[in-house]
Structure 1
Amino acid sequence: MTVTTPLEALTPGILTAPDTMIDATSDITTLDQLVRHLKQAAYLEMSTVPMYLYSAFSIGSRGYSQWDPGMGAFRLIRSIVVEEMLHLSLVRNLLVALGKGDEVTFYQEDFVPTYPSYMLHRWPLLDLHLGPCSRELVRDVFMEFERPSAKPGEGTPPEGWYATIGKFYEAVGKGLKYLDGTTPDLWKRNQPHLQYVAAYWNKDGGGEPVLVQDLKSALDALKIIVEQGEGIPKDKLTVPINPLKPIPGLDEMPHYIKFKRIADGVEPIGPVWPLPMDPKAGQYGEDEAVTSINTLFNAVYCYVLHMLDVIYGTSRSDVKPGATSPRYHYERTFMSAMQGILVTVAETMVAVQVNSSVPIIRHAGPTFEFHRLPATGKKKYLLQLCDAAMAHFPQLGGDNSVRWLIGKLPDAV
């Protein structure tokens, strides 16, 4: 079997340099190989967040019906996004524990996923899309991303490719075990005070960050990622809400099963805004209002990624008794930017009809594109973008508004 499209053409620039390529046909036996896998694991986890959020934003109500006792598609997808953010943090914790925390920067143009694109190292090729929620999208893209096992007859993936995410992480776990037994100083460069360990996660999502210090805690981090995602084995319909501290009766569904319930129509989707597939900012060029709010959205999105980088560069230990902790402030305001600002801007945006010559665009979908923030004065810059958008969307201002929340953010460098 041969790959007709070069791997270099299917992955972002940050991951295609010779020193970042991986070989799925050989075991991980060096720290360099392990770090390459973990960098690409971070990109894999990152690529799910815009894809799933866009689908959730497209759902026109918070639930199918206020009288419906079920979770509904929106809450299921929201719970998955929360856990994907957790997985992203767990992968970076692993890198920090190996002394390689600076190998990944979330706010970096080459690291921000673009759509459509191929799923990294997935064979057969899987196209990833930003699209309005539908049973078809959930079945053909989301379930395939989280698939627990290869389909019969697909054969062996070619060099550099894995059949499932589970196989990818299985290789990482095997490599960790090998290196832990052969590399005495594997964990000596760990900086645990820089790892993300505070669980400020929403309800509906399970698990919590793991402080990675040794092989056991590293494998615990992988266990959370794989069990919550694919729920291996294939017939595993539920997993503990906290995979590391299971309590009988406190279970949830892995991502694959959650998506399957949506695809099968068990959890209804409800009304959906007619958002474009894989939108780009240039498509909104004729509409000043939509362009202004999409620019604000992308800037806030990149600020959120930047805040994660700032958190990982700020020690939890350098705080004197009675003093304010910058790290704690960054962690809490990161969640505020994610949940209070980014989500609210998106919800405002998707309800807007687009004045565009492109006939397929009816309502505006956030493009999740990289936006260059200024080196200093980031909060002032976000306020300026918000003021520009408020000329068209006054609801972004006022008490407890998007603008008010932006004013509460730290001007993190």
Structure 2
Amino acid sequence: MSTVYELAKTEFAPPATVEELRTYLQAALEIEHLTIPVYLTGLYSILPGTNAYGCEVIRGVVLEEMLHLTLAANLLNAVGGTPDLSHVVRSYPARLPFGAPSLPLIKLRHYSPEALKTFMRIELPRSLVPPDPHAPDRTWTSIGQFYGAVRTGLDTLEKAARKQNRTIFTGPAGRQLGPADFYNSGGEVFPVTGLRSALLAVDVISEQGEGSQDTIWDSDDKIFGEERQVAHYFRFKEIHEGRRYGKHDLPRSAPSGPLLDITWEDAYTIDPDAKLADYAGNPELHQRARKFNALYAFMMGVLELTFQGSPALMSEAVPLMLALRDESQRLYRNPHPKADLAAKGVHASPTYELDAKLFAQARAEAAQLAQKHAELAKLPAQTTHSSSPHSSSSHPSSPHSSSAREQPA
């Protein structure tokens, strides 16, 4: 059962105990994961060589969502929890956690105005959520509100613990990931070691998504010393509207900057409700779609072990995402096996389905990879140089091993 959906059924309130805080932070992991297949579908469905700005924006946001996922894991580990990726969304369409029940389901859509509307719905700043006069008191209204509750809980619980000469940050330091483990141009991972770094982690997650202090801008310039960017919601709105924001634009105004070259037709059209079962009548496509899901499950297993004390495995995440790109495009190049959809120009596509058996297999394969990393780490430097974990030979035998290294970035 997904932690985040169970939590969303409860009344709005900050976590009142450390155990509740761990539940909230597990839910945060699940929220950050939910976005990644959605955004990857939009990105990988773009025809190669087209929509350069859209590709750049969505790719950058995906890397920042990976940053958020990692910071959420650092937060959970810091307060003595254990990240568990078996609770993530197992299939799409999916409901948006902490949103109004009337909101449309989150579907896996190809690059299109509808996909960008979905992206914007996920990243909608809490200040732009329309009030619902019929909603009961203490109702969850947005993901931004959820992170506000997490921030309050961290602050309140740690200050209460300090009064008793204790701390809530009791997790093992060895599970924390830092800048040496993961870095991208939209910020870097940092260890969570106390209240200050914990609150900073929440701020990074919130402000990169919805903007800082009710502006269109994130806070990367203040936190990381990097050039500030418009936050995720507003980056997606730029693509949707076909125009950049100007430096004086406000959250409630339309973009007023330069026009963008957006060509919606330059994308593979896919079925947003596709399931693996749809390909049962075409053994070759069915096998390829299953292979994609197995590779996706393997990436999730690798990330879970990364967050549970094997930080060196983070080096495998981006190559695995590139392998997902290659496998997805092999599917996109085929017409949909249902004749009526194929006649409309619909293509086959990944389904991002995870079942218990697939995830258990992925965990076992990820454990083999972790063991290989541990063995390589014990070898002398001159030996490990030629047997780097970045080479395909370092992977355990699995159906995914070679594809993770097929093409460079």
Normalised TM-score (structure 1): 0.76
CA displacement, residues 52-110 of structure 1 (integer Å, 9 cap, x when unaligned): 1111111112443xxxxxx511211111111111111111110100011x2x311x2x4
1:222 aligns with 2:216: no
The residue aligned with 2:84 is: 105
Match of 1:130 among 103, 108, 122: 108
| Residue of structure 2 in register with 1:155 after alignment | 133
Q: How far apart are 1:179 and its partner, in Å?
A: 0.3
Alignment match, 2:94: 117
CA distance in 1, matches of 2:320, 2:120: 29
Structure 2 partner of 1:167 = 145
2:20 to 20, 26, 33: 33
Describe the shift of the 1:406–1:363 C-alpha distance in structure 2 as closer, same or farther (beyond 3 A). Answer: farther
Residues 1:78 and 2:78 are matched in the alignment:
no
Question: 1:189 & 1:411 partners in 2: Cα distance?
Answer: 37
**SS in structure 1 opposite 2:315?**
helix
Q: Which amino acid is the alignment partner of residue 255 of structure 1?
A: H
1:359 is aligned to: 341
Contact kept in structure 1, 2:11 and 2:138, CA below 8 Å: yes
**Hey, what's the Cα distance between the residues in 1 that align with 2:168 and 2:396?**
33
Contact map agreement 2:71 2:190 (CA 8 A) in 1? yes
Cα gap change, 1:289 to 1:157, in 2 (>3 Å):
same
Supply the distance in 1 between the matched residues of 2:128 and 2:191 (Cα, whole angstroms): 32
Pairwise mapping of residues 384-399 of structure 1 onto structure 2 (< 5 A)? none
Q: Structure 2: any 5+ residue segments left out of the alignment?
A: 244-259, 370-389, 399-409
Q: Name the structure 2 match of 1:370.
A: 354
After superposition, the Cα gap between the structure-2 partners of 1:174 and 1:157, relative to the gap in structure 1 and judged at 3 Å, is farther
**Are 1:42 and 1:91, in contact at CA under 8 Å, matched by a contact in 2?**
yes
- Residues 201-237 of structure 1 deviation map (CA, whole Å, 9 limit, x = unaligned): 575x401112001100001101110111011444x23
Partner SS for 2:273:
coil
Per the alignment, residue 332 of structure 2 pairs with: 350
Give the match's secondary structure for 1:251. Answer: coil
Match of 2:224? 245
Write the distance in 1 (CA, Å) between the matches of 2:96 and 2:49. 29
Q: Equivalent residue for 1:391?
A: none
Task: Give the counterpart of 1:191 among 165, 169, 172.
Answer: 172
Please tell me the residue identity of whatever aligns with 1:29.
Answer: A
**Identical-residue share of aligned pairs (%):** 26
Offset of 1:273 from its aligned partner?
0.5
Distance in 2 (CA, whole Å) between partners of 1:115 and 1:32 is: 29
Structure (1/2) with the larger helix percentage: 2
CA contact (8 A) 2:161 2:167 kept: yes
* Structure 2 residue matching 1:128: 3-state secondary structure: coil
User: What does 1:253-264 correspond to in 2, within 5 Å?
Assistant: 253-264=230-241
Structure 2 residue matching 1:314: 3-state secondary structure: coil
In 2, the alpha carbon distance for the partners of 1:61 and 1:96 equals 39
Equivalent residue in structure 1 for 2:302, among 304, 307, 315: 307
In the alignment, the residues of structure 1 paired with residue 315 and residue 32 of structure 2 have an alpha-carbon distance, to the nearest angstrom, of 22
Q: 2:284 maps to which residue? A: 289
SS class of match (1:50): helix
Whole-Å separation in 1 of the counterparts to 2:273 and 2:297:
18
Q: Contact (CA 8 Å) 1:55, 1:132: kept in 2 or not?
A: yes
Q: CA deviation at 1:125?
A: 3.8
Whole-angstrom CA distance in 1 between matches of 2:107 and 2:336: 20
For the residue of structure 2 that corresponds to 1:132, the secondary structure is coil
1:272 to partner: Cα distance: 0.9
For residues 304-343 of structure 1, the aligned pairs below 5 Å read 304-314=299-309, 327-328=311-312, 330-339=313-322, 341-343=323-325
Give, in angstroms, the shift of residue 16 of structure 1: 5.8
Q: Label 1:179 to 1:14 Cα distance change in 2 as closer, same or farther (>3 A).
A: closer
Tell me the equivalent position of 1:67. Answer: none
Q: TM-score, normalised by structure 2?
A: 0.77
Please give the secondary structure, in 1, of the residue aligned with 2:361.
coil
> Secondary structure at 1:40's aligned position in 2?
helix
Judged with a 3 Å threshold, the aligned counterparts in structure 2 of structure 1 residues 282 and 152 are, in CA distance, closer, same or farther, namely closer
Task: Give the one of 26, 38, 45 matched to 1:58.
Answer: 45
Q: Give the conservation status (yes or no) of the 8 Å contact 1:23–1:159.
A: no
